[in-house]
Structure formats: C-alpha cells, structure tokens
Amino acid sequence: MRSMDVLVIGGGPAGVAAAAEMARSGLKVTLCEQGGALGGAIHRQPGNPARAVPVPRAQSARWHKLSALLAKTDAEVLTFHAFIGLDATGAVLVEDRRQGRLLVLRVRALVLAVGGLERVVPRPGWHLPGVVTVGGLQVMMKVTGRGPAGSVLLAGSGPLLLAVAAQMTALGAPPLAILERSRQVLSPLRAAPLLLWPRYLAEAAGYMRRLMQAGVPWRLGSSVQTIRPTDDGRLETVIVDGAGAVSRIVVDKVALHDGLRSNSDGLPPAAHATDRNPHVVLAGDCREALGGVAAIADGRNAAQQVIARLTGAPPMSSASRRIVDTERRAQQALANIFDFGIPDLLKLPDETILCRCEGRTVGALRQMLATDDQPSPREIKLNGRIGMGSCQGRFCVEWAGAMLAQQTCSAQPAGAEFIGNRWPSRPVAIRSLLGPAVADAISSIPPNESD
Amino acid sequence: MPHEISPVSDRANSVVIVGAGIVGMSAAYFLSQAGWRVTVLDQGAPASGATGAADGAVSVASKKAGPLMTLAVAGAQFYQDLCDAGVLDGEFVRRLTYVVATEPNELPVLDRHATQLREAGVTLRALSKAERDQALGSLAPTTRAAIEVQGDGHAIGYKVVERFRRIGGFAVKRNVAVQGLWRQAGKVAGVETEQGIERADAVLVAAGRGSAAFLDVADVIRPRKGQLIITERGEGIVPRFPGPLMSCRYLISKGSQPGGDAPAGRSFGLVIDPLQTGQFLIGGTREDSADGSQTDIEAVRRLLQEAVELVPALARLRVLRVFAGIRAATRDGLPIVGRLSAHENVWIATGFEGDGICLGPLMGRVSQQLISGAHVNVDISALNPARFRAEAAA
Ligand SMILES: Cc1cc2nc3c(=O)[nH]c(=O)nc-3n(C[C@H](O)[C@H](O)[C@H](O)COP(=O)(O)OP(=O)(O)OC[C@H]3O[C@@H](n4cnc5c(N)ncnc54)[C@H](O)[C@@H]3O)c2cc1C
Ligand SMILES: Cc1cc2nc3c(=O)[nH]c(=O)nc-3n(C[C@H](O)[C@H](O)[C@H](O)COP(=O)(O)OP(=O)(O)OC[C@H]3O[C@@H](n4cnc5c(N)ncnc54)[C@H](O)[C@@H]3O)c2cc1C
C-alpha cells in the first residue's frame, strides 16, 4: 500500500513529463495509462523493436530523454489502468483492466493528460468498413510493425498525412496517393512563417524525400467527397481536384484526417481543490492540441501548478510556458497552410452519417434544426441521440455543434453543452465496477515494468 | 374568465406557463387546443428538469394504494387515448411490469401489494417458477416470487415534451427564469422575468422543484435525487424480458409499501428497465439531496450489485452513462394540483415526485380543464394545494 499525492492520467509526453517533474519535487506520484505501454499517440512503438516504425531522430531522442527522466524517479506507473471519472464525492475512479477491478482513489491532485482527438469531417461513406483515420492507421502500424495490406488512399489535410505516408512507404506499403485539400501548402507567402520552426520543415522535407523516391503523388487541392462500397467489397472514392474536375478511384482502404483537436469533453473541468475534490489540471493535447513538443512543456506547466498548490512553492521558471506559446504560433502557422476549416455541413446529402454509434444522419439533424424555435444542444442530444452512443460523442458532437452554428449563424457550442462532463468518461465493464473495489490501495509496481 | 389587460383587444385569453417539463408542455398543448394563447417559459430548455433525467415507467404497478394508484390507472389510460387519437402515437407503448421478491421478508410485501393493485382494478397474475422461467429467462435462481402486472406502459419524458412542442401551436421561450408573479391593479396579470414582464390573463406554475417559490407555505416541496445507470445494448448477451423488473425493495424505497431499514437520507430501490433501444436502464436511488448533476460510485456499485444478483447476465455489459435527476417530492407524498387560493387566476401543477411521466399528460389535461373552467373528469380533491395551508393554520 502506498499513499498518493497526485494521480496522472495518460502516459503520453504530457503525462510522463508531468509525472517526472512532480516526482522529482518529492511528491508521491502515480501514473495510469490505459494501454500496455507509455508513449502516447506519438511515441508508441511495437513490442518487437525489430519492427519499429521509423520516426524522426529528434523525436525519438526527446522521448528517450523523457522516459529516462521518469525512470529515475520513484513515480509509480500502472499500465492497463483507465481513468473512468471523478465522482460526486471527489473519488477518482480508475479501471484496472487486467484484474477487472476498480480503484477508488482519494488524491490531492489529478492531472489529466489523455491526449487529443483526430478529426474526420463527415462526408457520404466515411463510416463504411475500410474507411479508417490516418492516425488509426498509424497506430495499427505502430502496434503491428506492418504496413496496411492492399491499396490505400490518404485524404484530408495536415502534416500527419505526410508523416504516415512516409511511414507506410518505409514499411513497404506506400499509399496510392495523398490527397491534400489545401492548395496553399507550397505557397511561399503562407509558408514563410514556418521558417521560424526549422524542425517542422526538416521533418517534412525528410518525409517528402522518401515519398518522392517511392513516387507517391501528393495532390494539392484534391479531396474525397464521397465513398461508396463496390460489389466486390472495395471502395469507390469520388475525388474533386483543385480545378473542380471529378474523378473516381477504386481502392481497398481510405484513410481520412482533418487535423487534431483538444478533447476535454467528458472530463472534469480544471479546478482548484474543494473540500471534496482534488485539484484538477489538464495538460497536453487534451487541453490544447499543440503537438508533441508543446505536450512535454505543458506537462511541466501542469506539474508546476500542482507543486505550487500542494507545497506552496512559488511558481518556477516560465520557460515551459514560453515553449507552449511558441508552439501555439507554430500550429497557427501550420493551420495557415493546411485546411482545417469546417466545410458547410448543411450542404451534405441527407443520408450522410453524423453519428456512427446510433446511426444518426445529417438529414435527421437538419430536420430538427429547420424550425424557428432553435433547440438547445441538450435537446439535440436527447431527441437526436447525438452524443448518446458508446463513443460518448467523441465524433458526432463537434459536427452537430457545427451544424447548429451554421444554421443559426452563431458561435459553435462547446461539446460539454451537449454531453456535460459525467462519468464514466468512457464505457466501463459492469464486472470491473463490481469487482473488489480497491480504495486508496495501490500496490507498488516497479516504474518501468512496461518499458 | 379573467378580463383583458393588454391594449390589444382582439386576442384570445392568454396564459403563461412556468416550466417546460412534461406537465407544463402537456398543459400548453391542451390549453392551446382549447383556444388559449399560450407562452411557456423555462429557465433552461424543454425537459431540462426532472423530465429529461427520468425513467419512463408509466406504471400503476409501483404506486401506493389510494389516490396515486387511481390516478396512475387514469394516467396510463390517457396515454393510450392520446395514442389512439394520433397525438402521442409512437411515444407510448403498453407493456407488462414484473414485481419480484428475492428475500423471504419480501413475500408478504408482494402479497399485500398484489391485493391492493387488484382492488384498484388492475389485472395481474402470480407467476409460477415455470412461468417465471418462460417470461423472464434471465432471472437468478434465487428469485422467490414474481407478479406480472398488466396495463402499464412506457413513455420517454423528453420525447413526449418534444412531440407537444412540435404539434403544439404555442411559443416556448428558453433561458427565461421567472422571478415571481406580476401584479397590476392588485391582480396577477403575468409574471416577472429577468428579461421583463410577460403579461397573461392566467398563470400556470408547472416548474417542478422551482414551484416552491410560488407557494406561500414553506418546506412543502422537497428535492429527492435519483441516480440512474444506462448500459450498452444487450442484444445476444442478456436475454430480453418484456417489461421492467421491480424489486419489492423498490416499492419500499418509493414509499409505496412500508418497511425497510435504509439509512435516513438515502434508499435504494432496484428497477431494471429494458429500453426499446436494447439498452438497460438500472435505477435508482432516492436521496434527500438537491445536487442533481452528481453521481457517486457507492450508489452505482450498490445498484449494479443488486441488478446483477437479479439478472446475472447483466454483468457482461458495460455501463455507458450514469446520471441523476431531482424529483420534486411533497411533504405528504401527493402531487399539488389546483388553483392557488390567494389568486383567482393562478394555478399550480407540481410535486409529482417519481410519477410525473406517468401522470404528466393527464395532469396537463386537468390543468387545462381547471383553467378553462371546464369539468375535471378525474378526482383530484386529494391534490388541492390548500391542504398545506390548512395544515399550517392548524
Ligand atoms: C492519432 C494521432 C497521431 C499523431 N501522429 C503524430 C506524428 O506522427 N507526429 C507528431 O509529431 N505528432 C503526432 N501527433 C500529435 C502528438 O501525438 C501529440 O501532440 C502528443 O502526443 C500529445 O501528447 P499528450 O501526452 O498530450 O497526448 P497523447 O500522446 O495522446 O497521450 C495520451 C495518453 O493517454 C492515454 N489515455 C487516454 N485516455 C485515457 C484514460 N481514460 N485512462 C488512462 N489513459 C488514457 C492514451 O492511451 C495515451 O497514451 C499525433 C496525434 C494523434 C492523436
Ligand atoms: C431519476 C428519476 C427517475 C424517474 N422515473 C420516473 C418514472 O419511471 N416514471 C414516472 O412517471 N416518473 C418518473 N420520474 C419523475 C418524473 O420525471 C417527474 O415527476 C416529472 O418529470 C415532473 O415533471 P414536471 O413538468 O412537473 O417538472 P420538471 O420536468 O422538473 O420541469 C420543470 C421545469 O420548470 C423549469 N423551471 C423551474 N423553475 C423555473 C423558474 N423559476 N422559471 C422558469 N422555469 C423554471 C425547469 O427548468 C424545468 O424545465 C423520475 C424522476 C427522476 C428524477
């Protein structure tokens, strides 16, 4: 048994940086990661190092340093432990997925570093089997060490398309093409601000070199408008290019990606401790999606906030805050050349799926909105079953909010206006909830068991 | 009828309804049908109170003998009538309810309740072990007895509200908190809101818990929190049963039957409700608390434990959501419906605690009859708001 000051949720760069920093300051820290290993969205690698997915050297060096830092502390790392929620009494609920039991923890501070979300703008056919997200494809490669089988089209917008295409190529499975919706990527005027972040340019240049060698086309201004199943189980994509010309390609898989976003929906909000609740601090991409470098700095920021609140120590250097600010400008520069805007969803055909879990369509929501008497997000949720499915609204809520905003020409409501911030923040097995509840009892597991 | 107060003279009598829950929205519909000009004001949105945080048991089986049981019979019948008339078609389904005893000391409770239901004219039958296995294959072998009650149904509060809003022909104003009655020349002529005065010839207070502010006797309405659990869909994992399972402890927790050793302030009564989506709703607690946004692991574990004891296969599902709602309970356990004696043109319909989905449409209709001065065709004498006044004076 071990008493705990701080619980950190999420073993990505933000969570690991936060845990290491707090443990170094003498706080008793436990880090819970739902998966089998630390690393998060960016530093995940297959169990078998022989099959490692190539990543930029600077990136792996950063992670190496960070995990070494954590290993030197007495922070406890629990893998296969998923955060479920913070209940009304201030208890932090964690599901121990291997033992099928529930930890009911009382801690002084809770740092949530559960990562951001990958966006995929709905379009007809995006929900079909064979359509995946680019990030999901990357995770698959990182877990198995293999590229996807069959012909794959990558489409959407953002640097991740390039990174994943290069990784596929390195694994001997290059995509047919990358369709980049933005036309401005190579516009010198727009791209100029990025010169301030040579790291991004060097990374992109490395990816592009590999793609050019393999002859993978990067088509700017092109996008996938519609995806249809073919009789022989493949996918027909309808593509519109920069000049408005329409073409069709039949492929085995389509991977879509429209940027990354923060994800605090369903999480308890950041707040100071009360007589019941611990301090709650959000860190990394879940707070603001700014990429891997910012995530480390933001994790340190969170750590310093917690240290200040728990020990009364004065806030330390503002260096990490400056890094976050710089990275925010870098993301803004990237957003300026890529196209992360939300298209006019009201123009989508009726049958376009909006919510996969509950099978809700654009047409059904459009009908709900076509009234002078504008429903509130909560009514849209209840009557439209938006955010009611097992993904807890991770995918549909942003688009339902966008449609509401487009219909009423008003600001887009926050996800929490639809789904609140109730626990469980993700579905949890009744078996686990009923297993022996382990209150405040965490048996010590050597920190690097999972590495 | 109240006389005109607005400069516009060629309009119908107007009524403002405080609260867009199932009661207010039902009343709005019937008043609008009866020719009234209706405005519903809600501090949030339609169904943002208890109506949107409830189960939808339109249940006679769970009621306490007396006025509530009688009204519930009429309430369920009224749902059927509204379906037949095409008003609520598709929003109400008839179904059976099962009341189950698992402990020896629950057997007399079940017997007594069955007798009371029969006396209220409800059809039911006691199930033999073989019949239980056939109808409710998934029950634990420890089940001792069960009755199958006919005439119950299911309706989802927020969907009923949405239907009335769509077909209503009346205005709903969201985010308008009513601060009190507005008087002109010594007479109520509307309500005061943060956004200004809303004039009307008549006022109906159907504000659930918020109705307390309109009563002149304190501590009549008390918050009773309830926590509910929704599972994922159970197809192929948990055998379906045709209607909700209620434990005898549920009757006790609800106050429909005496007994129980629950600590003051919080009791548990198990209901497992097979929803039309294939999900299960598992409820619920009754707690003396007004904190409606909060749920706790102790309550959830206890409810799940009882649910799995009764239906072991539920253990194979995941919990999707947990939420809480606040019921507006009253000091004597009966709703409050009638005219406020201090005013000639202010009515109230509230205090439905755990029965407002069942009684909502009927009480909306009754409110319309009261306000229009029409004949009220159910006996609501026990619900008269003046009863608390008399008590306070005594
Ligand atoms: C799909 C995807 C692909 C990306 N690819 C790249 C790339 O190729 N190159 C690049 O530079 N950047 C990439 N990024 C961005 C980069 O990964 C992030 O900016 C960075 O990883 C953010 O770090 P983080 O610690 O905030 O979150 P993450 O790295 O996402 O880590 C969050 C961690 O929390 C865990 N977690 C989540 N919920 C729970 C829970 N309830 N309980 C317990 N643990 C939980 C997750 O399993 C994960 O390990 C990608 C991001 C995503 C989402
Ligand atoms: C957990 C739970 C389970 C339940 N299960 C069942 C069941 O199975 N069967 C059943 O029959 N009943 C059930 N109920 C009870 C049922 O939900 C309620 O009795 C019913 O919804 C009450 O409806 P109402 O219109 O009176 O009140 P509400 O739905 O609470 O509506 C009142 C409205 O008034 C508004 N309001 C309040 N004050 C003001 C103000 N000053 N100005 C403007 N607006 C105001 C509120 O925002 C609210 O929208 C359950 C309740 C709960 C909480």
- pLDDT tens profile B19-28: 999 999 999 9
B304 at A interface, C-beta within 8 A: yes
- Residue A389, pLDDT score: 85
Q: How confident is the model at residue A146 (pLDDT cuts 50, 70, 90)?
A: very high
Report the run of H or E that residue B188 belongs to, with start and end.
strand B187-193
The crossing angle, in degrees rounded to 10, of helices A13-24 and A292-311 is 30
Cα gap B98→B119, rounded to integer Å: 18
Pocket lining: B20 vs ligand 2, CB cutoff 6 Å: yes
Phi, psi dihedral angles at A180 (to 5 degrees): -105, 120
The tokens for A309 are: 């609140």
- Do the Cβ atoms of B304 and A430 come within 8 Å? yes
- Do the Cβ atoms of A375 and B319 come within 8 Å? no
Q: What is the pLDDT of residues B120-137, one digit of tens each?
A: 899 999 999 999 988 888
Q: Give the number of whichever ligand sits closest to the CA of residue B271.
A: 2
Ligand 2 midpoint to CA B224 (Å): 11
Q: What is the pLDDT of residues B146-163, one digit of tens each?
A: 999 999 999 999 999 999
Question: Which residues of B are less than 8 Å from A94 in CB distance?
Answer: none
Q: What is the mean pLDDT of residues B333-359?
A: 96
Q: Does A117 score more than 50 pLDDT?
A: yes
- Residue A102, pLDDT score: 92
Cα gap A166→A160, rounded to integer Å: 10
On whether the CB atoms of residues A142 and A44 are closer than 8 A, the answer is: yes
HEC per residue, chain A: CCCCCEEEECCCHHHHHHHHHHHHCCCCEEEEECCCCCCHHHHCCCCCHHHCCCCCHHHHHHHHHHHHHHHCCCCEEEECEEEEEECCCCCEEEEECCCCEEEEECCCEEEECCCCEECCCCCCCCCCCCEEEHHHHHHHHHHHCCCCCCCEEEEECCHHHHHHHHHHHHCCCCCCEEEECCCCCCCHHHHHHHHHCHHHHHHHHHHHHHHHHHCCCEEECCEEEEEEECCCCCEEEEEECCCCCEEEEEECEEEEECCEECCCCCCCCCECCCCCCCEEEECHHHCCCCCHHHHHHHHHHHHHHHHHHHHCCCCCCCHHHHHHHHHHHHHHHHHHHCCCCCCCHHHCCCCCEEECCCCEEHHHHHHHHCCCCCCCHHHHHHHHCCCCCCCCCCCHHHHHHHHHHHHHCCCCCCHHHHHCCCCCCCCEEHHHHHCCEEECCCCCCCCCCCC
Q: What is the pLDDT of residues B96-111, one digit of tens each?
A: 999 999 989 999 999 9
Q: How confident is the model at residue A65 (pLDDT cuts 50, 70, 90)?
A: very high
The tokens for B12 are: 């119908």
Percent of all residues in chain A with a pLDDT value above 70, rounded to a whole number: 94
Q: How confident is the model at residue B4 (pLDDT cuts 50, 70, 90)?
A: very low
Q: Does A323 score more than 80 pLDDT?
A: yes
Cα gap A177→A189, rounded to integer Å: 26
Q: Select the residue of A104, A382, A430 nearest B158 (Cβ to Cβ).
A: A382
Q: Does A144 score more than 90 pLDDT?
A: no
Q: How confident is the model at residue A422 (pLDDT cuts 50, 70, 90)?
A: confident
Q: Which residues line ligand 1 (CB under 6 A)?
A: A 9-15, 32-35, 40-42, 82-83, 113-116, 118, 135, 138, 160, 163, 260, 284-286, 291-292, 295, 426
A contact set with B (CB within 8 A): 87-89, 91, 93, 102, 104, 373, 375-376, 378-379, 382-383, 388, 390, 392, 420, 422-424, 427-431, 433-434, 437
Q: What is the pLDDT of residues B192-232, one digit of tens each?
A: 999 999 999 999 999 999 999 999 888 999 999 999 999 99
Count chain A–chain B contacts defined by CB atoms under 8 A. 90
B103 at A interface, C-beta within 8 A: no
Ligand 2 midpoint to CA B357 (Å): 8
Cα gap A417→A413, rounded to integer Å: 6
Q: What is the pLDDT of residues A6-56, one digit of tens each?
A: 999 999 999 999 999 999 999 999 999 999 999 998 887 766 666 677 777
Q: What is the pLDDT of residues A371-407, one digit of tens each?
A: 888 899 999 999 999 988 888 888 899 999 999 999 9
- Residue B299, pLDDT score: 94
Which atom of ligand 1 lies nearest, measured to the CA of A425?
41
Alpha helices in chain B (DSSP H): 22-33, 67-84, 107-119, 129-135, 157-167, 248-254, 297-310, 356-372, 386-393
Q: Does B355 score more than 80 pLDDT?
A: yes
The tokens for A173 are: 């499975």
Q: Does A446 score more than 50 pLDDT?
A: no
Give the residue on A whose Cα is nearest the Cα of B169.
A373
Q: How confident is the model at residue A451 (pLDDT cuts 50, 70, 90)?
A: very low
The tokens for B139 are: 């029950």
On whether the CB atoms of residues A112 and A271 are closer than 8 A, the answer is: no
Q: Give the number of whichever ligand sits closest to the CA of residue A160.
A: 1
B315 at A interface, C-beta within 8 A: yes
- The CA distance from A407 to the nearest CA of chain B, in Å, is 18
Say whether the peptide bond before residue A427 is cis (omega within 30 degrees of 0).
no
On whether the CB atoms of residues A336 and A196 are closer than 8 A, the answer is: no
